[in-house]
Amino acid sequence: MRVGVRSLGLAMLIAVLAMPLEAQQLYVYPGKGQTPEQQAKDTQECQGWAVSQAGTPYPSGEQPSGGVLRGAAGGAMIGVVGGAIGGDAGQGAAIGAATGALFGGIRQHRQRQQQYNQQQYQADAYNRALAACLQGRGYTVN
């Protein structure tokens, strides 16, 4: 029964950690009869301006990694000591590894959530700046 609970917990943790980024799409309509060429030129110039105001919309960054494995290794070492005191170092190591993996996964999830929030904030700021520039040039932006 212990194995089933551990497997379920690990499966739930993996599902939570797989978090996609959502990108907001802007729809731009030429409100003053701009040609597709003019719209492309204005969009390119406004993208440059938006980056200068708000930064790159989706900065590439290193994803946190190794939290589960690092936590499992640390937990196993602590579990061996605790298990040795209790008379069963192997069982202590297994329990420590499972607990360490869980806490390592939680820490990794928090780091990913913070990174996700920062990327969403950055993308929103960029999209607001881009929309403001395009609206200033006579486009309708939704």
If the chain, 142 residues long, is cut into consecutive pieces of 10 residues, what is the mean pLDDT of each piece?
49 43 77 96 96 83 53 62 65 74 82 90 93 97 94
Domain of residue 111, residue span:
2-141
For tokens 């420590």, the residue is 96
Tell me, what's the pLDDT at 107? 85
* pLDDT attached to residue 75: 62
Confidence (pLDDT) at 97:
72
Residue 109 in contact with residue 17, Cβ under 8 Å?
Answer: yes
Q: What is the predicted pLDDT for the residue at 13?
A: 42
Q: How many beta carbons lie within 10 A of that of residue 21, not counting itself?
A: 10
Instruction: Provide the pLDDT for residue 96.
Output: 73
Q: Exposed, middle or buried: residue 10 (CB in 10 Å: 0-12, 13-18, 19+)?
A: middle
Number of domains in the chain: 1
